[in-house]
Each structure stands twice: as structure tokens, then as C-alpha cells.
Amino acid sequence: MSQRPGIPKGTRDFAPVEVAKRTYIINTIKKHFENFGFQPIETPSFENSETLMGKYGEEGDRLIFKILNSGDYLRKVDDKIYEDRQSAALTKYISEKALRYDLTVPFARYVVMHQNEIDFPFKRYQVQPVWRADRPQKGRFREFYQCDADVVGSNSLLQEVEFIQLYDAVFSSLKLEGTTIKMNNRKILSGIAEVIGAKDKLIDFTVALDKLDKIGAEGVQKEMLAKGITEEAIAKVAPLFNFNGTNEERLQQLETLLKDSEEGLKGIEELSFILKTIAALGLKTATLELDVTLARGLNYYTGAIFEVAAPAQVKMGSIGGGGRYDDLTGVFGLKNISGVGISFGLDRIYLVLEELGVFPESLEKTIDVLFINFGEEEALQSLKAVKTLREGGVKAELYPDNAKMKKQMNYANRRNVPYIIMIGGQELSDTTFVLKNMENGEQKTYPMTELSAVFK
């Protein structure tokens, strides 16, 4: 009996064209990472559970793929725990390893483990798959690639400035124009929570605020009330619900709101510096926008928070995100090391480029030239030519069988081969070859000696 083939939900196979397009994106990103001075590292696809658990909040723990222990793992489980059937409690007895959930936490672990070999500030990049036990949707998978660049060991806000330039450089290079880099600062969010007297409800407050563009001002107020934030407090933040104008104007409004919060004012100062510096340097195709409702990754971000939105005409969640985390390595025992980094969502960028039709056409081409097979002797002559071309860097191949011409031509067509070369009985005796342009159908006979020159 043969079994029905299938792959787990949220995972994909990639065809040759898709791999070509993904490689194109990855190479573009890597090129810019290196251009900005980042160095690559890689970490294992799975980590000890304790390295990952508790780093992404309760929700995160649920989405981490756990790996079942090897061997007779149930034997070691306490009878009481086993009989209670509490999955969460049982997990730590039967699973000690888990698949990587993102690249930031493993990086923090790496920094702590290798602190004595690292020269700070350390700029690293990492392009590897991560796994989340999420329910798939458009642009959301259970296995996907993240492309991260982070700097640890520098408190300078110039790092934030560099990351904004990096986003701009990569997206411009990918012809993905019109992206919006949204920026906020954890200190501003804390400051707002402080001045409205809801400091203890920071997370609830920001999570609700983050939904402004989705559920509107009324929805946000409703959710805040439900989370126990008072009406007076909500009235104080009301100006944020109609927050517009230039970045400068927004900063001024914030300054008024946060005049009594030392932390909030610090956040404004940071944002102000970054905005001013970027304004002086200029961006190619991206727009930098101050967005006080942006509140992602609060479990570890302490300063700047970034998120990149695709051009408005594409309906897609964020295609990148990042921020500053002052104490990520703290949980692994290394204090006072500040980090800041950004991430590119490869799979989503792919979908956006596809939708906008901005992948280079050349990615569709598989080989430069196909030789038609006319029989044993002709094939040998063709193979000699193939060898010469390959040595010159031309992607060439000979059709393996002496099949009908139509079949061989069809094959060339389907593979988008731009040229074919025919060496049949006539050409064999003349030591010539026929070059045919598959696009316009033109063909011409050349002496064999001109083979390499033709492809220059």
C-alpha cells in the first residue's frame, strides 16, 4: 500500500523558481548586512527548552514547538503528574528541547556563552528558519525564515539610525518602494501609562492602543475599560486617538502630554534625535513615521520599537520589525549589555514582491543554451561545445536523448531557455553549429571556432 503524500500544515515545498526568488531576496539582504559591517553567525535549529521558555510571554510559550525526549520518556514521569493529565505540567518531564522560535533569544544566549571571544560592539546577522506552532494564515507559516541583524554592546542611538538606513537600503534594492518604517519608543509608552496613572497596566494599555488602526478609537476605549483602566485615564490619552501631522508636530503634542514624566521625556529625546539625524541623511524610498500606537515585542524591548509596513496597496502584515532591548542577555547572566536589532520577514517580502511583480525576470531563466541531440556522434560534438561553454561560465546542457525535435524544442520552451544550438549531421561535417534565438525564432550558422565569441 502506498501512503498519501503530504506535508504538515503551515509548511511548504519550494519549486526551483521559488528557490531562485528566495535566494535573490536573501542575497540582497545579506549583501546589505555585510555592507553595513555585520558578520554572520548560525545557531542550532533547536535549543534547550529552558533557553526559550518564558522569553516570549505566556502566548509565546504556547507557540513553541516542543521536541519529545528520546527513549522511554514516560517511565521517568511521576505517577501523580501523569494521572493529572495537565499538559503544561507534563511537558517539562517529557520534553527538554524545543525548536527555535526566533533568532533574537538564541543570539542573546550566543553572546553570553561566547562573551570572552566577542569584540564589542558586536554586529551580527543571521538568516535561518524559525518555527511557531501558530495557526497558519496568509503570510503566516509554521516554518519561516527570519533575517536578523543586531548590535550588542553599544548604547549609541546611531545604531537605531543605521538600522533605519539598512531597512531603506534593502527595500530600495529589492525595488520594494513606498515602505513605511514605523517607529515608537517603549519609554514613551511607559511615560503615557505613568501620566494617566495606569503604570501597572502598561501591557494591557499598549496592547489595546496597538489596535487603534484596526478597531478604531471606540474599540480601543472599550478594551481599555474592560482591562480596568479608568475613564479619567482614557480621557487623558484621547489626543492620541487623533494623532496626526508631521513627525515634528507629533513630538510636540507628545511633549505636552508627557511633561511630567521623566521617562516619557527621555523617550521623546531619543526619538527626536533619531528623526533629526535621519532627516539630515535622507532616505531613498522608505518613509519614517512616528507611530505612538506601535507596541510590539514589549516583553523585551526597552527603547526604540520598529515595524515596517508594505506599500499601502498590498494587504500584508508587517514585513519587518525590531527594537532596542537593554537587558536581553540579563536573563542569561550577563548584565549591562544593550542590544538593538531588526528582522526581515523573508516569506512576507516574497509575497509582496510577487504581488507587485518586481522580481527580476532573469530569475526565471534556468540555463543559457540547450543543445539539441541528433544522435551519438552529433551528441559527442555537442558535448565538446558544452564543455567549452561551461568553462567560460555559460550555463549549457545537451538534451540527453535523441528524441524528436519537437519534444526537445518544447523542453527548451518550458524551461525558458533563450537559445538553442543544433549540431546535426550537416554541421558535424562542416564543423559548424546553428544558433537559434528562441524568442524571435531567428537562427544563424557559425563556424565552430566562433562558439565562445558568440556568447560573449
Partner RNA sequence: GUGGUUGUAGCUCAGCUGGUUAGAGCGCUAGAUUGUGGUUCUAGAGGUCGCCGGUUCGAAACCGGUCUUCCACCCCA
Q: Alpha helices, DSSP H only, in 135-197?
A: 158-173, 186-195
Pick from 36, 81, 95, 140: which binds RNA (CB under 7 A)? 140
* x/- track of binding to RNA for residues 97-136 (CB under 7 A): -----x-----------------------------x-xxx
Instruction: Establish if 33 lies at the interface with RNA (CB under 7 A).
Output: no
Q: What does residue 258 show for φ and ψ, rounded to 5 degrees?
A: -100, 20
Burial grade of 376 (CB within 10 A; 0-12, 13-18, 19 or more): exposed
Q: Is 424 in the site for RNA (CB under 7 A)?
A: yes
Only one of the segments 77-85, 229-237, 256-264, 422-430 lies at the binding site for RNA (rule: CB under 7 A); that segment is 422-430
Q: Near RNA by CB under 7 A, which window of 185-193, 251-259, 283-291, 437-445?
A: 437-445
Cell of 14: 519550494
**Neighbour-count burial for 115-151, b at 16+ CB within 10 Å, e otherwise:** beebeebbbbbbbbebbbeeeeeebebbbbbbbbbbb
Grid coordinates belonging to 109 = 544566549
Task: Find the binder of RNA among 234, 345, 386, 398 (CB under 7 A).
Answer: 345
Are 326 and 338 a contacting pair, CB within 8 Å?
Answer: yes
The separation between CA 350 and the C-alpha centre of its own chain, rounded to angstroms, equals 9
Residues 6+ positions from 83 with CB-CB distance below 8 Å: none
Q: Which is nearer to RNA, 351 or 363 (CB)?
A: 351
Select the residue interacting with RNA from 81, 94, 438, 448 (CB under 7 A).
438
- 299 binds RNA per the rule CB under 7 A: yes
Among 400, 414, 449, 453, binds RNA (CB under 7 A): 414
Q: What span, in angstroms and rounded, lies between the C-alpha atoms of 379 and 294? A: 64
Among 79, 404, 449, 456, binds RNA (CB under 7 A): 404
Please count the residues of this chain forming the interface with RNA, following the rule CB under 7 A: 63
The yes or no reply on residue 263 touching RNA (CB under 7 A) is no
- Residue in 98, 163, 348, 386 binding RNA, rule: CB under 7 A: 348
Report residue 303: phi and psi, to 5°: -125, -120
Rounded to 10 degrees, the C-alpha dihedral 298/304/305/308 comes to -170
Shortest separation between residue 76's beta carbon and RNA, angstroms: 24
Considering only residues 40-79, where is the footprint of RNA by CB under 7 A? Answer: 56-57, 59-60, 62-63
Q: Which is nearer to RNA, 63 or 265 (CB)?
A: 63
From start to end of 273-399, where are the E strands?
287-290, 304-309, 320-325, 339-345, 369-372, 396-398
The stretches of 302-401 forming alpha helices (DSSP H) are: 346-356, 376-391
| Residue 400 interacts with RNA (CB under 7 A): yes or no | no
What are the residues binding RNA (CB under 7 A)? 4, 6, 8-10, 56-57, 59-60, 62-63, 102, 132, 134-142, 144, 146, 207, 211, 214-215, 296-297, 299, 307, 317-321, 343, 345, 347-348, 374, 404-407, 409-410, 412-414, 422, 424-427, 434, 436, 438-441, 443
